[in-house]
Structure 1
Amino acid sequence: MFRDSSDGVEEYTTSVTGFINKCTKDVAPTVTVRTYPSQKPWITGNIPIELKGRAAAFKERDSNPEAYKKSRCALSRSIKQVARTATRPLAAVKISQMQALFFLGGQRSLVLGALLCLNYYIKALGAASLSQVVTHPLMKSITYWPQLVLGLTFNWGELLGWSAVFGSCDWSVCLPLYFAGVVWTSIYDTIYAHQVLDDDIRVGVKSIALRFQEHTNNWLSGFMMAMMLRLVVAGFNAEQTLPYYATLWLFTSHFRYVYTLDINKPEDCWKKCISIRTLGLFLFLGIVCGNVWKERRYTLFPRV
């Protein structure tokens, strides 16, 4: 066919090559993969450069204070270029750093006041979370797993809440529930991270989204299974009842929802992120209804 329609060897070769390329594009699946130099995205963007400049100017701040001031301003401008932080109070200069510190101090004082009203067990447990609170903001510059550290920090309140009600932790229930919350936080924050991936690259921070990229869906599905297993173990050890397990059954329908996540569409990421929040509300209602069912059962059929 090609030989009859070609006038020479060169045209014949071009026709055959073009046909092969077309067949390859039509049949072979294509996958878009984001790659970075040595898989180290933190070496790109202006933020690392400005940080080094500020560090150098800081060493010579006594002899050249003006250069140090300019380096700080340059760093501030680079950070404000990140879209998701541009409207935040500090980045938008709606409040001063001193006002932010006063607000933070007020929040810490309220938490400390509530903690001091509780027993020594809870005070020690609360003090143990301080290391996570301090180190969490630094994790995005150190590891690809900052979402995991965020989960460890956010869900510490579950241990404190259980201790505040019962006096101490029942580790057979609290640990599975705590680690289920850690995995849950990692899931929704990883989905959120895919919305702002370009900003993270520009700023030079790391995340699970950058670590797994196109393989994120598979990993998130694995996270969901690990979370489900821990919730089942926690429910079993807490002697939960039918409403709780019925809620967990709803979670299984969410597996496909997470697996079909389109990480290249921010609107789909936001939709899936919000759905996980709604799922949390259903889990809360399942726990409440499960406890009510359990109390009613024990009222009708007391323990021997």
Structure 2
Amino acid sequence: MPSQRQLTTTSAPIAKPPLGPFMQSLPKSVLPYAQLVRLDKPVGTWLLYWPCTWGITMAAYASNASLLDTAWMLSLFGVGSLIMRGAGCIVNDLWDRNLDQKVERTAMRPIAAGQITPKQAIVYLGGQLTLGLGVLLSLPVDCLLLGASSLALVATYPLFKRFTYYPQLMLAFTYNWGAMLGFPAMGVWDVPTMAALYASGVCWTMVYDTIYAHQDKKDDVLAGIKSTALAWGEYSKPVMAGFTVVQIALLTTAGVLNGMGPAFFMGVGWAAYRLASMITNVHLDLPKDCWRWFVDNIKTGGVLFLGAFVDYLLKLFGLM
């Protein structure tokens, strides 16, 4: 087995992934900063945003909020998701700059590749967090403590891959915080529903991020990085199926507690079908297939939002 030093010095040069039209249009001096916050890979922003939309829409349904107020909050959380996902990526890359050099998929990240220095990244992070604070201050006052408390999770998540095989769990806690925050943002404090929705998102993240981790499992072993992909190994699919069963049960519970209508439960059923298909068909030993199915979760999150939003509109216009 090659040593970590051999891995980084004798491997073939890593080809940079192709850039889309937007990224290609950016000045060369700006491009590394855009890549640092993953503007070229928006899947993470969507997966952070969808749980926010579930919470906002379910709270709007429960409180009969106006369409304007709901649209404003969905837009605000969309901006916040983009900013905070970017901030999280910077924190992650600062912690992992030495580890990233040892994993083929991450070796060309701007800090690991030397395009951005740690000091420059910290200054950029300060700007991101300032923008994030601006979004947070736009929310009702009683959201501030709940929203700010997520920063501790963002800051410590990268450490978990060094000491435990379950960094995915910390990411799950972080990525679904918006499912809870969306309720008080709309003036609703329904703790049982918030907890059930949040826990369902945690289960979802455990599934999709385990598939994501299977992309790098060979390099991770050499680099000393831990993940659920390595912990569960050949039992990954049965374990993910178990998490999905719990996720669907929790989503159903959240819907019942919130008095949701038929569109929401149809969305839950549709999401269950999509998740079952993903777990059945994903080839965990093929990195490209893992990435394809990981990205497909954007649609699954959107299905759940669509169901809740249709119910909200039907109730708002007196059609149910």
Normalising by structure 1, what TM-score? 0.69
Larger RCO (CA within 8 A; separation ≥ 6)? 2
Relative distance call for 1:192 and 1:79 in structure 2 (3 A) is closer
Aligned with residue 260 of structure 1, among 267, 276, 281: 281
Deviations 1:205-261 (A, max 9, x none): 111111010000000111111110111011111111111111111123231431333
Q: Which letter maps to 2:126?
A: G
Maintained 8 Å contact 2:103/2:216? no
Match of 1:55 in 2: none
Conserved 8 A contact 1:188-1:276? yes
SS in 2 for 1:83: coil
- Cα distance in 1 between the residues matched to 2:206 and 2:250: 15
Mean Cα deviation higher: 244-253 or 207-216: 244-253
SS class of match (2:164): coil
Counterparts of 2:297 and 2:223 in 1: how far apart (Å)? 27
The answer on 1:84 being equivalent to 2:105 is: yes
The correspondence of residues 114-133 of structure 1 with structure 2, limited to 5 A, is 114-133=135-154
Task: Give the direction of change, closer, same or farther, for the CA distance of 1:135–1:295 in structure 2 (3 Å limit).
Answer: same
2:172, 2:201 within 8 Å by CA — same for their partners in 1? Answer: yes
Post-superposition offset of 1:90: 1.0
Counterpart residue number, 1:247: 267
CA deviation map 1:70-94 (0-9, x unaligned): xxxxx97774242111221111222
**In the alignment, structure 1 residue 163 sits paired with structure 2 residue 121:** no
Instruction: Provide the aligned length of Structure 1 versus Structure 2.
Output: 230
Displacement of 1:176: 0.8
Measure the CA separation in 2 of the matches of 1:278 and 1:233. 22
State the shift of 1:126 in Å: 2.1
Q: Which has the larger radius of gyration?
A: 1
Unaligned runs of 5+ residues in structure 2 are: 9-95
How far the C-alpha of 1:262 sits from its partner, in A, is 2.0
User: Cα–Cα, structure 1 residues 176 and 125, in superposed 2: closer, same or farther, change >3 Å?
Assistant: same
Q: Which amino acid aligns with 2:182?
A: G
What is residue 65 of structure 2 aligned with on the other side? Answer: none
Change (3 A) 1:235 1:81: same
Q: Within 1, Cα distance between the matches of 2:201 and 2:158?
A: 19
CA contact (8 A) 1:136 1:150 kept: yes
1:91 alignment partner, SS class: coil
Match of 1:146 in 2: 167
| Cα pair 1:136 1:149 within 8 Å, conserved | yes
1:96 paired with 2:117, answer yes
What per-residue deviation string (whole Å, max 9, x for no partner) do you get for residues 176-197 of structure 1?
1111111111111100100111
- Report if the CA contact (8 A) 1:218-1:259 is conserved: no
Give the Cα separation in 2 of the matches to 1:77 and 1:148.
23
**How far apart, in 2, do the equivalents of 1:119 and 1:243 lie?**
29
Matched, 1:174 2:194: yes
Letter in 2 for 1:268: D
- 2:226 is paired with a residue whose SS is coil
Structure 1 alignment gaps of length 5 or more: 1-35, 37-43, 51-74
Q: Does 1:113 align with 2:134?
A: yes
2:235 to 215, 221, 224: 215
Indicate yes or no: 2:4 matched with 1:46: yes
Q: Deviations for 1:21-75, whole angstroms, at most 9, x for unmatched residues?
A: xxxxxxxxxxxxxxx9xxxxxxx9528xx9xxxxxxxxxxxxxxxxxxxxxxxx9
- 2: CA distance between counterparts of 1:136 and 1:78? 15
Cα distance in 2 for partners of 1:169, 1:93 equals: 46
Aligned twin of 1:295:
316
Relative to structure 1, is the Cα distance of residues 101 and 78 closer, same or farther in structure 2, using a 3 angstrom cutoff?
A: closer
* Partner Cα separation in structure 2 for residue 300 and residue 262 of structure 1: 44
Q: Distance in 2 between matches of 1:264 and 1:192?
A: 11
The match for 1:198 is 218
